[in-house]
Amino acid sequence: MNPSATTPARVDIYDTTLRDGAQSEDISFSVQDKLRVVRLLDELGVPYIEGGWPSSNPKEMSFFEQVLGMDLKHARVTAFGSTHKASVAVEDDRNVAGLLACGADVLTIFGKSWNFHVTEALGIPLERNLELIRDTVAYLNAHRSQVFFDAEHFFDGYKADPEYALATLAAAQEGGAQALVLCDTNGGAMPWEVARIVQVVRARMATPIGIHTHNDGDMAVANALEAVRAGATHVQGTVNGYGERCGNANLLSVIANLELKLGVKALPEGRIKRLKETSARLSELANLPHNKHLPYVGDAAFAHKGGIHVSAVEKNAATYEHVAPETVGNRRRVLISDYSGRSNVLYKAKEFGIDLTDQSQLSADLVNQIKELEASGFQFEGAEASFELLIHKARGSYRRFFDLLSYRVIVDKRSANGRSVTEATVKVRVGETEHLTAAEGDGPVNALDLALRGALARFYPVINDFKLVDYKVRVLTGTHGTASRVRVVIESADAGDSWGTVGVSTNIIQASYQALVDAIEYRLMTTGAVAGAAEA
């Protein structure tokens, strides 16, 4: 996608994560969450952050009371609302009064630009809708430094009645709006339609044009980019594409494509390197898992699995990467799987500080072993700690920290309404010393984890410094019902690191034990733990 003659040199980024993004089915921000999002986006260098609709609920008003006292370096927080009701004068409208009362100096209002919505949803004459837009923008413009107009359903409205849709923009322009934002509210517009319509709007309007796209047709980012190529200088979207239904334009993808593909400045110099961090931290604040497959900022965005790919990337990364991952704050990853070749194994070993370049037979044996293990259900893509242990075992550098002598897990339920009691007993040997520990837990895996840690922490106190933070079970085949093979993947973490391990068995307890032992042995290995004397 090359810049056109109408492509601007820079655009204003307008983030609407705290309103449109918060309308996503799985998101509910607290006031403190919203304040943290504002700080995060300000650090990214976003010039406009839409805070929400202040008159919609007390939480929104509380947010505005607090956010306007923050010391922001780049961002201006905007408030959102609608044109005044047809039944009251603009100065008497509660929503309009709420916009002014919240204290935000930049305001955004939306109005109907589709004649169908005016007559069916509002139930008012078309001319009256134009008056609502003009009067509301003019009234707010007299009290604030900037007012943006969001033309709701603009592309559908234009296709239904071009002249009326343009008339709504003209009404906002007459009221003094500083940007006319064309909204693809239903998310059904195609890129070529957006490009053509934006060109028409620019030819008819003197006010700067903005774009706000939804992703129902999976075109939100493409539509935003086409609007910029056609001359739009104000771009709205949400971090990670969060939003109602299928979401909004992913603002991080839009920014990356603008700067790296079109040469259009969207952020202050050097801030594009914060895209990955911003994406991950926003996911945490939204209490959602980070989508690893997000373009540019996902963990899988620069992950290579096929052996041929890895071999080529080692020679020149441009063979399979459209941009350098470091440009957006991401990193290259090489995955280990049954698709792996020798290049994958060499690359991953090098990441672990192990050079296998001159050990062709060992690396070939590892490739074959991986393929056999994955055929039986193992997967090392999310369990790199288990893979590193596998390398050490293959090259003879593995150190055994303990021997399991036995374990037993009992689940006892003595009445129909009684609470289940789970107990695990583990017996280990460290050096010449044997130790047995029992523990109760919330289920068999928790009990086993506690008992195993209890048995080993007496010898290796570092075990107390990390914990299990995630536990996933997948049934690998349903052909044997409850006797099917299962894969358990465990994520463990301490204050500064996290690592994944894997176990596979037809017995879920055994699979869990394999993953738990790998997690413990990996940490003991990386910390150089030495067994101390057992406590009495």
Question: pLDDT tens for residues 180-196?
Answer: 999 999 999 999 999 99
Q: For the chain, list the domains and their CATH numbers.
A: 12-285 (3.20.20.70), 303-375 (no CATH), 403-527 (3.30.160.270)
For residue 157, give the H/E element and its range. Answer: helix 154-160
Contact 388, 362 (CB under 8 A): no
How many CA atoms within 13 Å lie on the side-chain side of 462?
19
What amino acid occupies position 219?
Answer: M
Write the CB contacts of 285 (distance below 8 Å, at least 6 apart in sequence). 29, 33, 36, 37, 40
Nearest Cα to Cα of residue 453 among 496, 402, 387: 402
DSSP string, 418-446: SPPEEEEEEEEEETTEEEEEEEEESSHHH
Backbone φ and ψ of 87, nearest 5°: -85, -10
How many other C-beta atoms can be found within 10 angstroms of the C-beta atom of residue 461?
Answer: 12
d(C-alpha 302, C-alpha 52), whole Å: 34
Q: Could you list the pLDDT tens digit for every one of the 536 residues in the chain? A: 677 779 999 999 999 999 999 999 989 999 999 999 999 999 999 999 999 999 777 888 899 999 999 999 999 999 999 999 999 999 999 999 999 999 999 999 999 999 999 999 899 999 999 999 999 999 999 999 999 999 999 999 999 999 999 999 999 999 999 999 999 999 999 999 999 999 999 999 999 999 999 999 999 999 999 999 999 999 999 999 999 999 999 999 999 999 999 999 999 999 999 999 999 999 989 988 889 899 999 988 887 766 666 567 667 777 877 999 999 998 876 655 545 556 666 666 676 677 766 676 777 777 777 777 777 777 776 778 888 888 888 887 788 899 999 999 998 876 666 678 889 999 999 988 999 999 998 888 889 999 999 999 989 999 889 888 888 888 876 555 555 788 898 898 888 788 889 999 988 899 999 999 999 998 988 888 776 655 43
DSSP string, 171-204: HHHHHT-SEEEEEETTS---HHHHHHHHHHHHHH
- Long-range contacts of 474-478, Cβ-Cβ distance < 8 Å, separation of 24 or more: 476/377, 476/504
d(C-alpha 214, C-alpha 224), whole Å: 9
DSSP string, 128-152: HHHHHHHHHHHHHHTTSSEEEEEEE
d(C-alpha 75, C-alpha 65), whole Å: 16
Contact 296, 315 (CB under 8 A): no
DSSP 84: P
Q: Are strands 403-412 and 421-430 parallel, antiparallel or unpaired?
A: antiparallel
pTM of the predicted model as reported, rounded to 2 decimal places:
0.74
Residue 249: both structure tokens together: 């334009």
Question: What proportions of the chain, in percent to the nearest 5, are helix, strand and coil?
Answer: 45, 20, 35
